[in-house]
């Protein structure tokens, strides 16, 4: 895996979506970043984020997770949750696996309007870079990132590698005692990666992202805007 890690002060598990292969080119660096929640950024980290050209933050978290955040001048945060935790049936069936791509198909089936809203936020973002994040920067961020990368033709295994990097980064964070999650041993991590990447490959194999987004209301112009952000 190519190391696309971003080192903004106070932040872990942050990566640039640039430098990934497509059929004809590579994705552009400095256009879209995936991160965990940003309240861990220190003053230097915020300076680095702004210096990277970030002007739009797309926050995928549930409203109950969001706290006030003092943003630098010129940076806008958009709240675009992609799950409805109040849906008891969803939580009963999938609540125990929200740290895995196992539930991605259900998410797309249940809430296409939320998914489209998140992608539209990227499509309509003004000039400048975009940060997409949830809490850990792994699962909801992994879903939206998979859609973005699929849309521009990044191959399945590169998308799987990107998700793998998030799982490994969060496990390192947990082993350092900096997370509520329990860190896994190398053997446990290998087994976990085999499980979750299997779910992600199955999801991606069934995914026609252009057809899905078009069916649920994204225009050809909006799809072109997303592609242009990562390719042009």
Q: Report yes or no on 9 lying in a domain.
A: no
The answer to whether the CB of 184 falls within 8 A of the CB of 47 is no
Q: Report yes or no on 3 lying in a domain.
A: no
- Give the domain range for residue 39: 15-230
Torsion of CA 102, 186, 147, 28, to 10 degrees: 180
Q: Report yes or no on 7 lying in a domain.
A: no
Q: Report yes or no on 119 lying in a domain.
A: yes
Q: Report yes or no on 209 lying in a domain.
A: yes
Calpha distance 8→22 (Å, rounded) = 27
Q: What are the tens digits of pLDDT across the range 126-156?
A: 999 999 999 999 999 999 999 999 999 999 9
Neighbouring C-beta atoms of residue 90, cutoff 10 Å = 18
Check which CATH number belongs to the domain holding 22 and give it: 3.90.190.10
Tell me which H or E stretch contains 131: strand 129-133
Please report which confidence band the pLDDT of residue 57 belongs to, taking 50, 70 and 90 as the band edges: very high
The per-residue pLDDT for 8 is 97
The packing angle between helices 156-175 and 186-206, to 10°, is: 150
- The pTM assigned to this predicted structure is 0.95
The per-residue pLDDT for 181 is 83
Structurally, the chain folds into a number of domains equal to 1
The packing angle between helices 140-151 and 220-231, to 10°, is: 90
């Amino acid at each position: 895996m190519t190391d696309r890690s971003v080192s903004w002060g106070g932040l872990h598990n942050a990566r640039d979506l640039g430098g990934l292969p497509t059929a004809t080119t590579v994705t552009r660096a400095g256009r879209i970043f995936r991160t965990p929640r940003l309240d861990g950024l220190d003053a230097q980290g915020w300076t680095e984020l702004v210096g990277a050209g970030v002007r739009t933050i797309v926050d995928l978290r549930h409203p109950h997770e969001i706290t006030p955040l003092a943003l630098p001048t010129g940076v806008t945060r958009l709240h675009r949750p992609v799950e409805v935790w109040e849906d008891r049936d969803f939580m009963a069936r999938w609540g125990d696996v929200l740290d895995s791509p196992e539930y991605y198909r259900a998410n797309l089936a249940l809430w296409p309007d939320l998914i489209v809203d998140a992608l539209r936020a990227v499509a309509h973002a003004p000039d400048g870079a975009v940060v997409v994040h949830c809490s850990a920067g792994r699962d909801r961020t992994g879903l939206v990132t998979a859609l973005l990368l699929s849309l521009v033709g990044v191959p399945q295994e590169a998308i799987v590698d990107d998700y793998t990097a998030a799982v490994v980064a969060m496990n390192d964070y947990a082993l350092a005692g900096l997370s509520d999650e329990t860190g896994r041993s190398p053997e446990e991590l290998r087994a976990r990666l085999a499980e979750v990447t299997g779910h992600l490959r199955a999801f991606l194999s069934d995914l026609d992202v252009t057809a899905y987004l078009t069916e649920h209301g994204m225009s050809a112009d909006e799809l072109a805007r997303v592609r242009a952000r990562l390719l042009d």
